[in-house]
Structure 1
Amino acid sequence: MSYEAEKEIVLNFYKALSDAEESAHSDVIAEYCAEDLLWRGFHPFNELRGASNVAQKFWQPLNHSLTNLQRRMDVFMAGQNEIDGFNSVWVVSMGHLMGLFDKDWLGIAPTGKMALLRYCEFNWIEHGKIVETAMYFDIPHFMIQAGLQPFPPQTAAQLVQPGPMTHDGLMFTPQPAEDGQKTLAAINAMISDLGRWDSGLSLEDELRRTWCEDMIWWGPSGIGATYTIERYAKQHAGPFRAGFADRSKTNHICRIAEGHYGGFFGWPNFTARPTGGFMGMPATDKAGEFRVIDIYRRKGDKLAENWIFIDLLHFWKQQGVDILDRMTHGGS
């Protein structure tokens, strides 16, 4: 399959949304999305139902706050969803929404300067409409640009994250089917290893089974980005495993690949119980949900780059710490 029709729907939707006045967003979303659209976004938006509700709760306030909003895509792909037996077709885009931060958003004070909202979006296309969306975005990354410090010092690097090193992530034209199959196989092999935590190998050697030695892990703000297997193990994977127990099995809603790229999302992907130390926070011993999107670039038969979106605001709110409220209203 080429997925060109599904890709065109999403691209036309993006253009119409960009061209529309703030007051017309409801009409645009109603035109391209099913009336009972299911939209999942990170805290504080969570699960929204209905095109008009999504316009009023997310798109209109965002456009009101970030004037001259533009979408800067780094990855654009489509594929059939492995999770439902390759029946549904999803279109994925990843990059940044950029604008002038002129009015407050979610209680975050404006800067009058350009700001980037790092995002990734999965759209299920059926009968010519978007029927389900997972729109995940890095609000702590946005907070830091506005001068806030939502988390203790992180283990990896805080950066504005670029797209793929190879600059070939925008797949507007069909890709060889075998490339997508190889990418999906590499992702599945990594998931199999990741879910075990008991391979008998050192963490670095376990990672070498499915990752390139010079891998790049573009993590969310609060954790950060890290480079090479050795530093990834030291700066994220090792501390994460040490800070959690009782990790549940992986549970994805969608998993696709096209060309050398692929990814997945869950709601949540898994649960785990913090035993202390993760992100500089104390143990709560209370299992929490991890809502995650992962996007990957494959090189050869291994994974070379990974962009990760984790709803850390939701996770820590479950642990009794409302990061967003604390940063904007001085809450606990």
Structure 2
Amino acid sequence: MDGTGPLTFQAEKELVRRYYAALDAGGDTSPYCDPQMVWRGFHPFGLITGAEAVRETFWTPLQTALTPLQRRLDVFMAGQNEMDGFASVWVVSMGHLMGLFDAPWLGIPPTGKIAMLRYAAFHKIEGGRIVEEAMYFDLPHLMGQAGLRPFGPQTAAELVQPGPMTHDALMFDVQDPALGEETLATINAMVADLGTWGLGLPLEDELRRTWAEDMLWWGPTGIGASYTIKRYAQQHAGPFRAAFMNRAKTGHICRMAEGHYGAFFGWPNFTATHLGGFMGMPKSDTPVEFRVIDVYRAGGGKLHENWIFIDLLHVWNQLGVDLLKRTTQIGRV
């Protein structure tokens, strides 16, 4: 292999690394992005078309607020997208964007201290350019660092979330394709079980089909992180399933894997109707959509760690509750 073929993804990885270097330095990113790049982001941004519009709307204000902006990568990988028959190549990264929070952003007051915005991003590469990007980020976690609490008490732990326990997810070099195939198969088995929301098994036994007993579920602010199948069932999976009905079939724009890691995202991933009580919110008869990125570490046919980004601000905004606006107007608590 020469390191640039479709099975190695080295050219695509290098493109995104150069894009990140230019972006983080405030430089020219036009050599790396299609001018009509489609960008998907969390509330309040949504869908933006055009690389320059993305810079003006998202990146410049963020880089003005968090200075100097530093990208701290925990996961970097590439692969072919199962959702289009493995025709397209996507590069995925995850980590934190860090800086001194010295200017307001989206109405969130600056702290003058280090702040970290946890994120995950998917980049679709065509013709040597980034033509699509999904940039999902835990905005409520940043709000919490500034003393703002958009949600009530959560069921699991709120943390600055670490990268993989095995410290092997920065896959800048060529990986064994067989490992990626195994990881993708494990993820697909979990998605198949998830789509049923009930296999006639107790929840914990259902989870044991695809999850390791000592699993780590690094959930978003508003829900939190859980450790072990038992606590995950108690602190998220059980309460979530009890609070929603009519869950639509899972749908993704991209699902891929490389090495022991895999990821997917949707726009939305699914819809469901809230019966009331989840995160302290009232019942609604209107289905809401969930925009989600999941990043996984797998091995031995089991999932061991899962970092999940859910646009919870968008979820409740669909029901007429703009928690970002309401919380920033109220101010610090």
Give the TM-score normalised by structure 2. Answer: 0.96
TM superposition shift of 1:116: 0.3
Q: Describe how 1:296-307 pairs up with structure 2 within 5 A.
A: 296-307=296-307
Equivalent position of 1:188 in the other structure: 188
Q: Describe how 1:1-332 pairs up with structure 2 within 5 A.
A: 1-20=7-26, 24=27, 28-330=28-330
Q: Distance in 1 between matches of 2:157 and 2:312?
A: 17
Query: 3-state SS of the aligned residue for 1:73?
Result: strand
Q: Distance in 2 between matches of 1:285 and 1:99?
A: 41
Tell me the C-alpha RMSD between the 2 structures.
Answer: 0.9
Equivalent residue letter for 1:192: A
Equivalent residue letter for 1:116: M
TM superposition shift of 1:284: 1.5
Q: Distance in 2 between matches of 1:6 and 1:31?
A: 13
Does the Cα contact within 8 Å between 1:101 and 1:110 map onto a contact in 2?
Answer: yes
Q: What residue ranges of structure 1 are gaps of 5+ in the alignment?
A: none
Residues 87-142 of structure 1: CA deviation (Å, up to 9, x unaligned): 00000000000000000000000000000000000000111100000000000000
Does the Cα contact within 8 Å between 2:148 and 2:328 map onto a contact in 1?
Answer: no
Query: 3-state SS of the aligned residue for 1:29?
Result: coil
Equivalent residue letter for 1:208: R
Q: Distance in 1 between matches of 2:224 and 2:285?
A: 24
Residues 148-183 of structure 1: CA deviation (Å, up to 9, x unaligned): 111010000000000000000100011111100000
Q: Distance in 1 between matches of 2:316 and 2:286?
A: 11
TM superposition shift of 1:65: 0.5
Q: Distance in 2 between matches of 1:148 and 1:241?
A: 28
Does the Cα contact within 8 Å between 1:89 and 1:125 map onto a contact in 2?
Answer: yes
Give the TM-score normalised by structure 1. Answer: 0.97
The ranges of structure 1 where at least 4 consecutive aligned residues each deviate by more than 3 angstroms after the TM superposition are: none
Q: Distance in 2 between matches of 1:119 and 1:19?
A: 18
Equivalent residue letter for 2:226: T
Equivalent position of 2:3 in the other structure: none
Residues 283-303 of structure 1: CA deviation (Å, up to 9, x unaligned): 122210100000000021100
TM superposition shift of 1:225: 0.2
TM superposition shift of 1:29: 2.8
Equivalent residue letter for 2:51: A
Residues 200-253 of structure 1: CA deviation (Å, up to 9, x unaligned): 000000000000000000000000000000000000000000000000001100
Q: Distance in 2 between matches of 1:285 and 1:238?
A: 21
